[in-house]
Structure 1
Amino acid sequence: MLPSFYTTMAFKDKISDLLEEALKEKPSLFLVDLTVTETFKVIVTLDGDNGVNLQDCIDISRAVDNNLDREEQDYALEVASAGVSTPLKMVRQYRKNIGRTLKVKTATETIEALLEQVSDESITLSWTAREPKKIGKGKETVEHKREIPYSDIKEAIVTIIFN
């Protein structure tokens, strides 16, 4: 076998450049994660403002694969969409999920609530809860709304509710 032409970092930079070019052709898609292992397994995770379909993955895979030479560096390439259970990482992902229910973990609590607003610094969640009445016995429904800075979010996942 030929010695590795690339270091892992140089190879990752090359892949990153190729992805950037390929994604210019599909502006509704964006890169969520790029991993290159020590054995040159390339894992590309995509998301899209309108979702990601199989053809999108094929097109991006071909754009990368057609511009690399396996004689220079043997590699394995995997292009996939961010799954439903994949934690949100980018503001753009939060924006496309406004109106959906998220499960958000912070250092002190887990909140399952409706994503109402997204800014460059934070998200706003709203939910109702049954809580003991302030006066008297029994419970009442209380509306909650909270702004959470991205820096406080440990993990946020879209939850799917089946009726």
Structure 2
Amino acid sequence: MLSEKTVKTLIENGLEERSDLFLIDFKMNADNKISVVIDGDNGVTVEDCMFMSRAIEHNLDREEADFSLDVASAGATSPLVNNRQYRKNVGRTLEVKATSDLKVEGVLIDVDDTGVTLEWKTKEPKPVGKGKVVVNKQAKIMYDDILEAKVVIKF
């Protein structure tokens, strides 16, 4: 019988060997369909997925339990779910929805252990007279307050 704990241990062992990779998602259903999503500090290549696949598959016995295995990278439009994903995206534009009904699209300029700092430009009314002026804004958003964050891909 194949256990979820065994597979999780194999994933952790693979990630210890490759410290540049980290786990985004892991699922295993009753039919032994194993799904693993990884990301990396420098992105993920096909070879990285093959490495993780081998780290799991080569340590399981198909004679003992049949299984299917899918190892994939986090998609470009997938929400960021791991703090390390923010670090690798410094300098890129993010769309962040926060618990305070804040929805911001801005450049990720800083990441620390508590949250992220975004910077963006917006038009605000002039202090005196009619019309608007472009103003630089910045906001620090704590990880706990982020409902969803995605990298904005512009063409």
TM-score tier (shorter): over 0.9
Residue 14 of structure 1, CA deviation: 0.9
TM-score (norm 2): 0.94
In 2, Cα distance between the equivalents of 1:148 and 1:38?
Answer: 39
Query: How big is the alpha-carbon RMSD for the aligned residues of Structure 1 and Structure 2?
Result: 1.2
Residue 158 of structure 1, CA deviation: 0.7
TM-score (norm 1): 0.89
What corresponds to 1:101 in structure 2? 93
Paired AA for residue 41 in structure 1: K
2:55 aligned residue (58, 63, 72)? 63
What corresponds to 1:140 in structure 2? 133
What corresponds to 1:87 in structure 2? 79
What corresponds to 2:24 in structure 1? 32
What corresponds to 2:142 in structure 1? 149
| Alignment size in residue pairs | 154
What corresponds to 1:74 in structure 2? 66
Extract structure 1 runs of 4+ deviating beyond 3 A: none
Between stretches 92-101 and 30-39, larger displacement belongs to: 30-39
**Residue segments in structure 1 that go unaligned for 5+ positions in a row:** none
Paired AA for residue 93 in structure 2: T
Residue 104 of structure 1, CA deviation: 0.4
Matched residue of 1:154: which SS?
strand
Matched residue of 1:24: which SS?
helix
Residue 74 of structure 1, CA deviation: 2.0
In 1, Cα distance between the equivalents of 2:130 and 2:28?
Answer: 59
1:35-54 alignment, distance < 5 Å: 35-54=27-46
Paired AA for residue 73 in structure 2: S
